[in-house]
Structure 1
Amino acid sequence: MACRIGELVLGCRDPELLARFWCEVLDFVVLEREDGNWVEIGPREGWGGPQPTIFLSRRDEPEPGKMRLHIDVNPTDRDQDAELERLLALGARPADIGQTGEEHWHVLSDPEGNVFCLLKTRLAPL
């Protein structure tokens, strides 16, 4: 038996802001929250399904060192260019981490500057 990812934990200054952003990006819903300290978001069926949930935990100061985890997202119901427009309209911003411009993905940052990538390959919606 192997392990499976149940949730991803992301420290952030404003869990509510990032919850709204990532809910729109991933078509997730708020599953649970605690007084501005944390918000857990995930697919409508809740925790334990085929997709991990995202646990956004308040951290007033960034943790030392480079974040070693980032999220890759794939479009499901539109092509990459249309999805890029949608993500930018939601508040994502282009991020330069030294890419060459020849990549088949876009490097973006969420409203708090956490880097994520929009991949080209389209996945079937769940």
Structure 2
Amino acid sequence: MACRISELVIDAADPGRLAAFWSEVLGYVELGREDDGSIEIGPPDAGFGGPQPTLVLSPSNAPRTGRLRLHIDVSATDRDQDAELERLLALGARPADIGQTGAESWHVLADPEGNEFCLLHTRLRPFRQDAS
């Protein structure tokens, strides 16, 4: 058996703000808060250990230098890419320029703290807990 990703940890100046943003983007809920200010969010019916990874927003005052070496890609599940782009922008995402040519099929965005992520063109089926 191999490993699987159970959590993604993102340093955040304001964990609450990022938790709210990513919860709206992904349809996640808050799963818990730690004494250090970390907030874990995840799928509402599965939580930690489910088939989808949770996100832990961990407080940090360290300045970020340069582009992230790892980023999140998201795909719409119930609308086309253009409609999802509008939704993400309304939630607080903003376009990010990382040197794309303009011919890409995806959009590069940044969350409210400037962490880059991509909205892919391909629409995925919504995740179902009872799916095999």
TM-score category by the smaller chain?
A: over 0.9
Cα distance in 2 for residues equivalent to 1:8 and 1:122 = 22
Residues 12 and 62, structure 1, Cα contact 8 Å, conserved in 2: no
Runs of 4+ in 1 over 2 A off after TM superposition: 62-67
Q: CA deviation at 1:63?
A: 4.8
Report SS of the residue matched to 1:111. Answer: coil
Shift of 1:34: 2.5
Q: Which whole-Å deviations, capped at 9, do the CAs of 1:48-70 have from their partners, x for residues lacking one?
A: 11100001100012255642111
Counterpart CA distance in 2 for 1:12 and 1:43 is 20
Unmatched 5+ stretches in structure 1: none
How many residues align? The count is 126
1:79 partner letter: D
The reply on whether 1:74 has 2:75 as its aligned counterpart is yes
AA matched with 1:47:
F
1:32 aligns with 2:48: no
The DSSP-based 3-state class of the residue aligned with 1:8 is: strand
Superposed CA deviations along residues 62-95 of structure 1, whole A, max 9, x for unmatched, are 2556421110000000000000000000000000
Following TM superposition, by how much is the alpha carbon of 1:10 offset from its aligned partner in structure 2, in angstroms? Answer: 0.4
Per-residue CA deviation, residues 90-110 of structure 1 (Å, 9 max, x unaligned), is 000000000000000000000
Match of residue 55 from structure 1: 56
Map of 2:17 onto structure 1 = 17
Structure 2: 5+ residue runs without aligned partners? 128-132
Q: Determine helix, strand or coil for the equivalent of 2:70.
A: coil
Between the aligned partners of 2:36 and 2:28, the Cα distance in structure 1 is 19
> For 1:27 and 1:42, how far apart are their aligned partners in 2?
8
Helix, strand or coil: the match of 1:11? strand
- 1:85 aligns to 2:86 (yes or no): yes
The answer (yes or no) to whether the contact 1:72–1:117 under 8 Å persists in 2 is yes
Percent identity (aligned): 69
Give the match's secondary structure for 1:88.
helix
Q: Is the Cα contact below 8 Å between 1:10 and 1:56 reproduced in 2?
A: yes
